[in-house]
Structure 1
Amino acid sequence: MQFTKLRIPKGTQDYYFDYLEKRSYIENKMRKNFELWGYKEIRTPTFEYFESLATGTGLELQESMFRFKDKGGRQLALRAEMTSPIARVVATELRSHPLPMRMYYLAPMFRYEEPQSGRQREFWHAGIELFGSSLPDADAEVLAVFITTLDDIGLKGVSVELGHVGLFKSIVEEAGLSLDEAAAIRRSIDKKDDASLETALKEVDVSSAMKDVFRLLPKLRGDISVTKKILDNVDNENVEICIKNISDTVKLLELYKLDSRVMVDLGIVRGIDYYTGAVFEGFVKDLGTALGGGGRYDNLVGEFTGESIPATGFAIGVDRCHLALEKQGFKFPLKNSPQILILYIDQELKGEAVKIAVNLRKLGLSTEIDILERKLTKGLEHANKRGIPYVVIVGKTEFEQGEVVVRNMEKEMQEKVKIEKLKNYFQK
């Protein structure tokens, strides 16, 4: 299709007016909750060297990155996720910072993928990263922040599915396969696609008993009792360690009174390579895809410097949260800004209208002055279309008496108010 300056690239979107006000509401709520838990904001460059952004992410994500060269021929890319950039900062600039470190972010990401509901090629993520603890206490905290953040923005029916990538890796090792050989199996289990799983299992040389274990994984969903079935079918010390980690995390969530919101799903096998432990995804019933997810990645910092720091975190799709709130019929608290429109009837009163506007803004009231010199009727029609609740009319007769007319657009009523008492009028 021929390029035109009136178009924007596929997978991008313009944001303005009420839409942005709704997004700001979501982001402000998220920011407030992150900070309540002791997390501090971090920002990294939108583009970095490709090699740095690709660290630990795996081929699937790397192939979705927007890549380009600078004038020196160096390979750059737009960030596709935030965990690797933050791990780089920890590895280079924050090595001596006291542990644990708690960070949060709200930032745009970029992936060259087919646009889908709730995610374009440019999309926004909000998330946290917690560095310094290998205990399940950290996993439980991250899960608790995830759930309470989605609750706080107004979403109903938030639930989380919890698994462990170490479980799949341990079973693959027990079966005598490499992770590359098991890649197709992993994708099938992750999608819970029985047909493609059977095809993938035909391509590998493993015992029928181990094939049954792979078939079992995507079906093990429910409360903590489902973990017993995997222990009954696999005698492996690492598998036992993974199951104990899941169990300990769920028990800790009881302290937050959030354990009822968590379902164990041993078929969660997240696609980004850097995950090493507990992983999870969050859902609401009104959206047919995950709102976000995360997990533990204890080796990622070490891929930059050779010295690892245990870490865990999550990312939430802000765009998907917005879509889910709309589907649930959430009433965003829009401000209907501005609150006041000032109309002056005579050119000689323009200066006085400006003075009134300045004083109203000092009170924290969002105030516009009509700059198109509309007649009174047209000015009131404009305020009505814009949803502006009050109109201050500066007329010559009233002004000579030290007054203005204040019209309440919702009640379709108006009254004269002394100019020096406008502050008291609007403070009511």
Structure 2
Amino acid sequence: MFHSGLTVTNPSCIEAPLPKGVSDFLPETADKITFIASRIHSVFDLWGFRRMITPLLEFEDVLALGMGEELRGKTFRFEDRQTGKLLAIPPDITPQVARIVATRMHALPLPHRIYYNGRVLRQAQMQSGRSREIFQSGVELIGLDSPEADAEMVAMAVEVLKGLGFTGFKIDLGHIAFYRGIMDAASLSEAVRRPLQEAIAKKEVSAVRSLLEGEKVSDRVKEEIALLPRLFGGREVIEEAARIVGNDRSKRALDNLAQVIEILDIYGVAEHLTVDLGEIRGLDYHTGITFEGFVPGVGEAVCSGGRYDDLTANYGFPAPATGFAFNIMALLAGLSRKPEVEASRSRDFLIFNQKDDRREALEIAQKLRASGFTCARDIIKRDLESSLDYARKMDIRMLLVIGADNCKDNELYLVRTADHRGVAVTREELFDKGLEEKFDRQGENHG
């Protein structure tokens, strides 16, 4: 049994390791994650999307209908003792939304504007060091086959990133049908398609040319494929690609991409856009526009998505669709030192009661919470310095002392934990949102 004031100095006597690729998130980090998610959700709400909550488990054969080979290879599976069937932990939420829309919402009018927040698990190579647990906040717009729908996704992503305080970020736009049109026209052997795709994704021009040397395709097609890693830059890339490409599918893809960018000009987000026609890292279910968002200082995409017109059809309900998701932990990596995110960890008040009667302390705590302040009571009996030290370590901004010797009957004493500066306030002033100014005024007077 632990008593108040007892300090555990050697917790290592209990071993509680975690599987590789997952983490505990202590309150400071959890507060930041919650702050980021709430900012994302506020934008989704403002754009007219409604939240959906998906299950943690699915039958593997049902979930597999909405996943390509890549995602199936990253899925955690195990047997259900109740049914004997194979269960799966979803590696991505979009296939779940597609299933729900197709099987439970098909009678409702289109389009469906849905957003979600959740965690998924993906198998990862042990030596990669990558997390197997991914925090996703995303949207799905189902029922619209329109460049404006695709542009809406990109514009929302930009709005979220701006709202979180990012500058200098980029949204890389691609089109999976442009790449597939070239590859289909080339009729390459299966043995070379996969390594060629990897070389294109890594922008390895010499490796691409080397892989094509032994293939029986025309020089023009070889040139089209060899140029893919270099088709990166501004919208002039679309014009350059149009001069090179010969097949109709790729040409239609370029027209579609140009239309989306034209609409994004109206949104006023052109400065954040780049075009990358060699970007082919979209999930297997993507069919059209794809995009990824990158912020300074983070080595992975903070958001990604695109069009996936065939996914709901796998569950018996054909409908065009587009969507994207934020990787919240990647966002956190880019925001970890931003003042607003740091401030999200803090709480407002800790009440320290020097009176024998607890009634006043409890009543003031209730009124503070009703006024929108966070407030905790220091129930443990300890001295003022110990309580102040606790408040500082718990990121509580102010210690509220009831019954301080230097206060009048209608006054309370506030101590700011950051600098231990104290000031007497009346009960009315306590509920003023500008309390920090009172500390600063007092400092000026003392000066």
Length-normalised TM-score, structure 1 = 0.89
Partners of 1:85 and 1:203 in 2: CA distance: 42
Q: Structure 2 residue aligned with 1:299, among 305, 310, 333?
A: 310
Which residue is 2:422 aligned to? Answer: 413
What is aligned with 2:371?
363
User: Residue 21 of structure 1: SS of its match in structure 2?
Assistant: helix
Cα deviation code 1:148-167 (max 9, x no counterpart): 11111111112111111111
Q: Does 2:73 match 1:63?
A: yes
Is the Cα contact below 8 Å between 1:68 and 1:75 reproduced in 2?
yes
SS in 2 for 1:134: coil
Partner of 1:192: 203
Tell me if 1:282 matches 2:282.
Answer: no
Gaps of 5+ in 2: 1-13, 435-447
Which moves more between the two structures, 176-185 or 360-369? 176-185
The 5 A counterparts of 1:13-52 are 13-52=23-62
Pick aligned residue for 1:426 from 422, 428, 431:
431
Contact preservation (8 Å) 2:264, 2:270: yes
- CA shift for structure 1 position 333: 5.5
Per the TM alignment, residue 384 of structure 1 is displaced from its structure 2 partner at its CA by 4.2
Q: Which residue identity lines up with residue 229 of structure 1 in the other structure? A: E
Residue ranges of structure 1 left out of the alignment (5+ in a row) = none
Cα distance in structure 1, aligned partners of 2:128 and 2:336: 13
Q: C-alpha displacement at 1:389, in angstroms?
A: 3.6
Tell me the equivalent position of 1:145.
Answer: 156
Give the Å deviation of 1:127.
1.1
Distance 2:118 2:389 in 1: 39
Give the letter for the 2:307 counterpart: R
1-side partners of 2:377 and 2:248: how far apart?
73
- Aligned-residue RMSD, C-alpha: 2.7
Distance 1:224 1:422, change over 3 A: same
* CA distance 1:103–1:396, shift in 2 (3 Å): closer
- Structure 2 CA distance for partners of 1:362 and 1:398, relative to 1, 3 Å: farther
Query: Aligned residue for 2:113?
Result: 102
Residue 279 of structure 2: which of 264, 268, 273 is its match? 268
TM-superposition CA deviations, 1:75-125 (whole Å, max 9, x none)? 111111111111111111111221111111111111011479995111101
Aligned to 1:247: 258
Amino acid at match of 2:414: R
Compared with structure 1, are the counterparts of its residues 388 and 83 closer, same or farther at alpha carbon in structure 2 (3 Å cutoff)? Answer: closer
SS state at 2:376 partner: strand
**Cα separation, 2, equivalents of 1:61 and 1:229:** 33
In structure 2, relative to structure 1, the CA distance for the partners of 1:407 and 1:397 (3 Å cut) is: closer
Q: Aligned-pair distance for 1:323?
A: 0.3
On the 8 A contact 1:119/1:320 being kept in 2, the answer is: no
3-state SS of paired residue (1:339): strand
1:133-282 aligned at under 5 Å gives the runs 133-177=144-188, 182-202=193-213, 204-282=215-293
1:350 and 2:358 matched: yes
Distance 1:152 1:111, change over 3 A: same
Relative to structure 1, the CA distance from residue 60 to residue 131 in structure 2 (aligned partners, 3 Å threshold; closer, same or farther) is: same
Checking the alignment, whether the CA contact within 8 Å between 1:345 and 1:375 is kept in structure 2 is no
Q: Residue type of the partner of 2:431?
A: F
Does structure 2 conserve the Cα–Cα contact (< 8 Å) formed by 1:172 and 1:178? Answer: no
1:321 maps to amino acid: L
How far apart are the structure 1 equivalents of 2:300 and 2:287?
23
Preserved contact between residue 175 and residue 277 of structure 2 (Cα < 8 Å) = yes
Larger displacement relative to structure 2 (132-141 or 112-121): 112-121
C-alpha separation in 1, matches of 2:405 and 2:283: 72
Q: Is the 8 A contact 1:102 1:128 kept in 2?
A: yes
Task: State the Cα distance separating 1:376 from its structure 2 match.
Answer: 3.0
Residue 391 of structure 1: how far off its partner (Å): 2.9
SS for the counterpart of 2:358 is helix
Distance 1:146 1:115, change over 3 A: farther
Residues 390/11 of structure 1: CA separation in 2 closer, same or farther (3 Å cut)? same
The answer to whether the 8 Å contact 2:110/2:143 transfers is yes
Shift of 1:54: 2.3
For the residues of structure 2 that align with 1:313 and 1:116, how far apart are their CA atoms?
31
Q: How many Å separate the matches in 1 of 2:373 and 2:258?
A: 53
Instruction: Give the Cα–Cα distance (whole angstroms) in 1 for the partners of residues 241 and 33 of structure 2.
Output: 43
Cα shift at 1:355: 3.4
Q: What number of residue pairs does the alignment pair up? A: 417
Question: In 2 relative to 1, CA 286–250 (structure 1 residues): closer, same or farther, beyond 3 Å?
Answer: same
Match for residue 393 of structure 1?
Answer: 401
| Aligned with residue 85 of structure 1, among 77, 96, 110 | 96
Cα distance, 1:336–1:412 mapped onto 2, change above 3 Å: farther
User: Is contact 2:171-2:291 (8 Å) kept?
Assistant: yes
Q: Secondary structure at the match of 2:167?
A: coil
Deviation at 1:27, TM superposition (A): 0.7
Correspondence for 2:437: none
Bigger drift between 244-253 and 386-395 goes to 386-395
